[in-house]
Amino acid sequence: MLTLIKNVALYNPNYQGIQDILICFDKIVKLEPNISCSEATIIDKRGFIALPGIIDQHLHITGGGGEGGYQTRTREVNLSRLISGGITTLVGLLGTDSLTQNIEALVAKTKALKQEGITAYCLTGAYNYPSPTLTGSISKDIAYIEEIIGVKLALSDHRESYITTDELKKLAAKVRVASMIAGKPGILTLHMGDDERGLEQIFTILTETSLPIWHFRPTHVTRNEKLFQDSLKFLSLGGYIDITVGGNNEKLLNDLAQIDKAYYDFVTFSSDGNGSYSKYDSEGKLSKIGIQSCDGIINSIKYLINNGLSITDVIKFATSNVSKALNLVNKGLEVGKDADIILLDENYDLDTVIALGKKMLINKDIINKGMLE
């Protein structure tokens, strides 16, 4: 099956000029101007921008929430919600609730999304420690379960298990060794809460051990000023930080202005999509809860470009930076790599999504939905 996208301004993330893209099944096989292929289905998008598909490394694909009672649990995500956000690759994970949610269901949903046509991975663990697992062992989950590439944990949050620094060291060491054996990135995704401790435990571990900084992946790092300043220090030490987008884009713009551009290659975006957002009052009681959208990244990309940031800088936060951080060597708009492509119109609105060569969204209309949608 051949598809030919013609006359698009291509960014990967740097501008590559006006190009045609020839796709054969799930791969990009040719990338140059004025390609001719009579056997291909033609998609002529002159005046449109072609970008790599968005990689969202923080999605609650089996649902989230539950903090306000059973009725506040969010449902499993549908494929069409992901496609509407331009997402062609994801990492699924659990959140606060690992009692009514479990790793078995998470792995099953990850496999289902792969069968429906996108690239999907997941994390073992959840907010709490000891970490919930599929096999009874974090190391075995990473080593033997194809989809599992790391572990999730909450720190500096009133919902965490208050893991000791020594326990956290041992957890990170297990992640490291298992990922070395399995040839995986071995990430320890750290949900960061509002507590004043911030990244103190991580800084202690980096001082006291030889564990590489890139195993630690703090997320939600702009939720308060103390945590953000810790994160800027973490960046300066060579670590990756992940910013949750889709909420206050004006704040996002201001936060990015505080980051030295020399460190832009180590900043990533994620949506926290399909999870719950929650607010607590001064007594620690839940005052508000809702569902996080899955289109936060694409909406933030549009906002940031329209407010003066370069396309190259903005799109790397959700494409090349993430693929490098997760060691996804088959991602990017290059010959031989996965045909994950999104097209934006002149207003930077999402027009087309192609995932692994499969047309998912064309002319802003979803043409492929999940099996039971």
Count of other CB atoms within 10 angstroms of residue 373: 11
User: Given 325, 340, 356, which residue is the final one in a domain?
Assistant: 325
Tokens of 358: 């499969």
Tokens of 85: 């956000």
What is the residue range of 204's domain?
Answer: 53-325
| Predicted confidence (pLDDT) at residue 276 exceeds the cutoff of 80 | no
> Nearest CA to 158 among 196, 131, 108, 101?
196
Task: Give the whole-angstrom CA distance, residue 193 versus residue 228.
Answer: 11
Task: Determine whether 281 is an active site residue.
Answer: no
Using one digit for the tens of pLDDT, what is the confidence trace for 31-47?
Answer: 999 999 999 999 999 99
Residue 290: pLDDT band by 50, 70, 90 thresholds? confident
Phi-psi group of 176: left, alpha or beta (phi > 0 → left; psi -120 to 50 → alpha; rest → beta): alpha
Q: What is the mean pLDDT of the chain?
A: 96
Look-up: residue for tokens 């099944």?
A: 25
| Residue 371 maps to a domain | no
- Comparing 73 with 332, which gets the higher pLDDT? 332
pLDDT value of position 275: 87
pLDDT value of position 328: 98
Q: How many domains does the chain have?
A: 2
| Residue 316 maps to a domain | yes
Secondary structure element (H or E) that encloses residue 208, with its range: helix 200-208
Residues 306 and 212 in one domain: yes
Count of other CB atoms within 10 angstroms of residue 7: 16
Q: Among the options 20, 272, 338, 351, which is catalytic?
A: 272
Residues 214 and 336 in one domain: no
| Predicted confidence (pLDDT) at residue 240 exceeds the cutoff of 80 | yes
pTM: 0.96
Residues 6+ apart with CB under 8 A from 263: 235, 236
| Residue 220 maps to a domain | yes
Three-state DSSP class for 335? coil
Residues 81 and 161 in one domain: yes
Residues 102 and 162 in one domain: yes
Residues 223 and 105 in one domain: yes
| Residue 181 maps to a domain | yes
Which residue type is seen at 80?
Answer: S
| Residue 213 maps to a domain | yes
Three-state DSSP class for 16? strand
CATH number of the domain to which 239 belongs: 3.20.20.140
| Residue 228 maps to a domain | yes
Average pLDDT over residues 328-357: 98
| Residue 372 maps to a domain | no
